[in-house]
Amino acid sequence: MKQAVSKARAAETGKEHWINKGRDKVRLFLWQKLPAAGAQRRGTVLFVHGSSMASQPTFDLKVPGRPDSSVMDWFAARGFETWCMDNEGYGRSDKSRPINCDIANGADDLAAGSEYILETSGAGKLLVYGISSGALRAALFAQAHPERVARLALDAFVWTGEGSPTLAERRKKLPEFSARNRRPIDRAFVHSIFERDHPGTADKATIDAFAEAIVALDDSVPTGTYVDMCSKLPLVDPAKITVPTIIMRGQWDGIAGIDDLIEFFKRLPNPDKQFAVMAGVSHASFHQKNYLMVYHILHSFFSQPEPVYRG
């Protein structure tokens, strides 16, 4: 029992890092958690956040009475080194440039962050997970830097946007989003994320904790990902994503149209690929009542042995 407690505490110890991106020296925040002491090393995971919240509320959330609420801790306890980063314009990262921080800019953040993580961790390649617009950033990054990605997980992903009721509603506000670089967020907005697709998939205590953690860091977020997802899709070419990939789609997700995702999946050239539909899950999968099922799906893919025969 003492040894188990010790491993859990070791996994929960985080360390902050800072890097400067590009000629403008944009300051970006990264958060690292080492594998639990004594655990077999399983790989290095980079978690990529979505449009409306920074990385720590998404991936390192603590909720009283909700065991393993932090996905970073859960994976660290199983031997993974885990990282997340705040994209430019979010959380603790730089918000000073007069830009809307679109998806291409976010992919550039990942290029800078991944270079630092690979040097710091000594990992040969990264296991990359992105959710929603974070999945688009992750996919665009993997398309440009396949040599840095061992496996890619795309959760709540969108390709062309066809069949997405959430994006259809969001397009009505496209002129408003296009006219400014940031949009306001508050607790009520965070609650609306869980109410728009299928109410009841997440419990109130988790939503409340998530909302509090988000607004503690941001009262506004960039508009770039919304503008891109409403007017510029597709941004990713599946034929150019050559790394092993899993598509994770919540049963009730209003962003990710299932037919759209299946067409994307069919075009992925690497035969080491999976498509997982997550029962009882809407959009923010790690904050759902079925979060442990989501962890299991992702862990299975990230720990899968490489094929020994390819034909």
Chain centroid offset of residue 262 CA: 20
* Per-residue pLDDT, 1: 41
Predicted local confidence at residue 12, as pLDDT: 63
d(CA 294, CA 240): 26
Locate the domains of the chain by residue range: 2-302
Q: Which residues of the chain have pLDDT under 50?
A: 1-11
Task: Give the burial class of 16: count Cβ atoms within 10 A of its Cβ; 0-12 exposed, 13-18 middle, 19 or more buried.
Answer: exposed
Cα 52 to Cα 31: distance, rounded to the nearest angstrom? 18
CB 101 within 8 Å of CB 89: yes
pLDDT tens-digit series, residues 266-275: 999 999 999 9
Please give the pLDDT value at position 8. 46
Q: What is the pLDDT of residue 256?
A: 84
Q: What are phi and psi of 212, to 5 degrees?
A: -65, -40
Query: Helix crossing, 103-121 with 133-144: angle to 10°?
Result: 60
The answer to whether 284 touches 206, Cβ cutoff 8 Å, is no
pLDDT the model gives residue 5:
44
- Fold classification of 2-302 (topology level): Rossmann fold (3.40.50)
* Residue spans of alpha helices (H) in the chain: 2-12, 55-59, 71-76, 103-121, 133-144, 165-170, 174-178, 187-195, 204-215, 224-231, 258-267, 291-302
